[in-house]
A and B are shown apart, each in its own frame.
Chain A
């Protein structure tokens, strides 16, 4: 009994740690796509931030400076995307792809030139990383069965960024549906002409959304290299940006369902480690690769309308041009 609880608790803890960057990136994508800008460059921005954060944290010894550097790098690329897509009415998918590839080359190029470690950054000292936080009452609750271990390992014991991610979900929900900015953001992704004729600048709104997107991707990237990991490793995002995009679609561009999708995808990741080589009664051993592909298969099925239906913001992907 205790074994099962222990397993569940540790899988749950791992799930939360894996889900955190997905949540940041998915919410980043949510702001971008709700404003009508498709962003498949989440991956590249995260990778840029992961490198910048690790490099800055290594040099200064401060994870907070690293975080700021990560946010700055990511936001810079978000603004490049914004300029191409909003100001120059360029193809949004092409621009996102360009940023992914550019960063995939640039980060290791700079890492090799500056640190000479084959495209990685040096390992961070513990002071240069975000540390786990022990919430109050852990010791007090420890003797309580079930709740004690869950509180200690699932709720407590994460770094600050995890808790920020958790807070961002209700915050985004509130911004989206209860504030002026949210109303305009949702409107500009559906019908930019309506926003324009209501006297609100489409361009300014979309730029603001892209800056938020850049900041959130920056936090996601910094988390990977300075909180979850302890250095920048070449290609360390490994498709997490696309997984976040899938989670966003799976969550139908809504914050709570997107969180749920991130947790689901992260759970498959945590499970695959557990299930490696372990036979499941009645099924046998499932190759880990098939568990790995689950999130992508689910997203394909969802988009095809075989499980539910995902309808994107109507104007997303289309540059805004005034009607005559």
Chain B
């Protein structure tokens, strides 16, 4: 693009500065500060990193758990990203995934005896419906009543938590049970683990929570890419997200696109329930989401709202969550909460401070380009 110089502007910095170098710098900054915290606690950060990496990738079952978490984070990250493309900040992924757990749970409880592909298909639809509708209400309120979606989705997280609390404690709790859990799903409904599938091809691995939902997540990444950049609905959503007045001018209805984007967002968040409940836990559990919706924010920001980036950053967070759970065994002073610290730092640096290094880095490149010219 250096040929554009004649157009009266200095050449732009290379494309990979904004898409690769700056995100990596931001990530590095987050890790340096996290390392500082670990060092303050009296633990060698490098040793901690080694344990973390081993805990995430050291054995086939560890990799399996890493990919199991990755699956959740892909769904949650795509959910946040589709809303971002429409200019919306969906903080409600947590509540949408939680409510979708009810949808999946009801399918799991009711469809005992059915073959798993049927159960999975119905559960996916049910999860998408429950999650989608839970996101549709804030979307409608934003589009037609002017209430800010950030606040509404926050409120909907709390409302979802209260509803699920009621459902679990007062309605679905298994008879004779103290902990608020539903009865276990029928084994026929359990999604096959990926170990079983790999075994079909003669690949042996140790067992983990990893199940076919991972393949669904990868498929969602591809579908996301096609939808956002290659269909007119994706075009409409992006137009509304970038410039709502231009959308009105073009005859794209912003309200429709807001609702479409949020329904898809809620549906994607809802798929977390398929992975966790149908793929791993085989029952409904109180607070089963454990903050996955918020990890989705970090994943989407870090992945720049692109499915490839989201896949990679979901893998990073999957490794952090899995590897982080091993930290506590090696270093009693380091709690698993350390992972949440890193997550917060990544959201800070990759999101709110995304332009922290941009002026310096771009100036550096411009100087070099000018010197070369």
Contact = CB atoms under 8 A, between A and B. Distances in A.
A88 interface: yes
Given A299-B151, A304-B141, A304-B147, A98 B162 contact: no
A108 B146 CA distance: 38
Contact of B354 (A90, A100, A303, A304): A90
Contacts of A195: none
A85 B353 CA distance: 8
Contact of A312 (B148, B166, B170, B338): B148
A101 B337 CA distance: 10
Taking chain A's interface residues, is the majority helix, strand, or loop, or is none over half, making it mixed? helix
B35 to A, nearest CB: 13
B294 interface: yes
Nearest to B344: A102
B363 to A, nearest CB: 16
Contact of B337 (A85, A94, A108): A108
B89 A93 contact: yes
A242 B356 contact: no
A201 interface: no
Contacts of A300: 141, 147, 152, 155-156, 159
In this complex, the interface size class of chain A, counting residues with CB under 8 Å from chain B, is 35 or more
Contacts of B228: none
Interface in A282-316: 287, 289-290, 292-293, 296-297, 299-300, 303-306, 312
A292 B298 CA distance: 29
B165 A109 contact: no
Interface of B is mostly: helix
A102 B345 contact: yes
Contacts of B335: 108-109, 112-113, 119
B128 interface: no
Contact of B352 (A91, A110, A113): A91
A163 B330 CA distance: 48
A105 interface: yes
Interface of A: 40, 80, 84-85, 88-95, 97-106, 108-110, 112-113, 119, 239, 242, 245-246, 249, 287, 289-290, 292-293, 296-297, 299-300, 303-306, 312
Interface of B: 37, 41-42, 89, 91, 141, 145-148, 150-152, 154-156, 158-159, 162-163, 165-166, 169-170, 291, 294, 297-298, 301, 333-335, 337-345, 347-348, 351-356
13 contacts: A80-B348, A91-B89, A94-B301, A97-B91, A97-B294, A100-B344, A101-B294, A104-B337, A109-B37, A109-B334, A290-B162, A304-B145, A306-B145
